[in-house]
Amino acid sequence: MRIARFSIDGNVAFGAVEGDPTGSGGPGSFDGLVLDIIKGVPFADFELSGTKVPLDKVRLLPPVLPNKVVAIGRNYAAHAAELGNEVPAAPWAFFKPSTSVIGPGDNIVYPSFSREVHHEAELAVVISRLCREVPRERVKDVILGYTCANDVTARDTQQTEKQWARAKGFDSSCPLGPWIETGIDLAGAADLAITATVNGELRQAGRTGQMINSIEDLIVNITEAMTLLPGDVILTGTPAGVGPLHPGDEVAVTIEGIGTLTNKVISRG
């Protein structure tokens, strides 16, 4: 099931997306898709209401509002190498604040302090339940599903500031969406094509199977240290091919079996 979060007439709801997202409108198009509104929230047992609205009549929101986004740096060897970095000996986690999250179609706003903002296409894991010290064999039980993420990064700031809080935490630096795909298991998530395009030109192309630390590794490692809450998000690292974004660009992250997350880049008003 694909679960989207959206607003309509001032109300916010979750809905199950019906229809073929690769249909008539091409990649990233929502043509012909319909939302069956969910009664309640998708982090517990829920029912579909049977009330349906066309997806192009609503505003899609980020599919979750995470309490925290835990992101992993340098989890693909070719990406570490392209920036001249070593692969860390263990998962290298950092935070992106909840206020960095934007949804599909929202604008990435170029921060005032940077001259070099990069895209980083990433598979995002959405957590289903409160969990800590998750053993490897229970990892599958704490995942609601997967969505696309863009770990937008002020690369110049990342290189001049020891902590990455500003470089990777500025407002609008965490596009998520377009929806959560719940029908992929751990084995499936470990073998998905992931791409980033800028203005339709292919920039990043990798496979989640190239991750150094698997999704199981990451959730075991993170929950050794902290409790994850329903709706928390883990960004699993980016494949090679990161590069600059400029105001006016349109960046799209596509993950096989999930969908396409598209955002425009604008300068500060």
**Residues interacting with Mg ion, by CB under 5 A?**
120, 151, 238
161 SS3 class = coil
Q: How far is the CB of 69 from Mg ion (least distance, A)?
A: 11
Q: Which is nearer to Mg ion, 80 or 139 (CB)?
A: 80
* Residue with the two structure tokens 């604040």: 97
Q: Which is nearer to Mg ion, 16 or 121 (CB)?
A: 121
Q: How far is the CB of 64 from Mg ion (least distance, A)?
A: 18
Q: Which is nearer to Mg ion, 172 or 238 (CB)?
A: 238
Alpha carbon distances (Å) from 227 to 129, 230, 264: 10, 10, 33
Q: Which of 123, 173, 172 is nearest to 153 (CA)?
A: 173
Q: How far is the CB of 151 from Mg ion (least distance, A)?
A: 3
Task: Write the burial class of residue 156 (CB in 10 Å: 0-12 exposed, 13-18 middle, 19+ buried).
Answer: middle
- What are the helix (H) ranges across 111-196? 155-160, 165-169, 186-189
* Interatomic CA distance for residues 14 and 61, integer angstroms: 10
Minimal CB distance residue for Mg ion: 151
Q: How far is the CB of 145 from Mg ion (least distance, A)?
A: 20
Q: How far is the CB of 98 from Mg ion (least distance, A)?
A: 17
Phi, psi of 118 (to 5 degrees): -110, 150
Q: Which is nearer to Mg ion, 151 or 249 (CB)?
A: 151
Q: Which is nearer to Mg ion, 238 or 254 (CB)?
A: 238
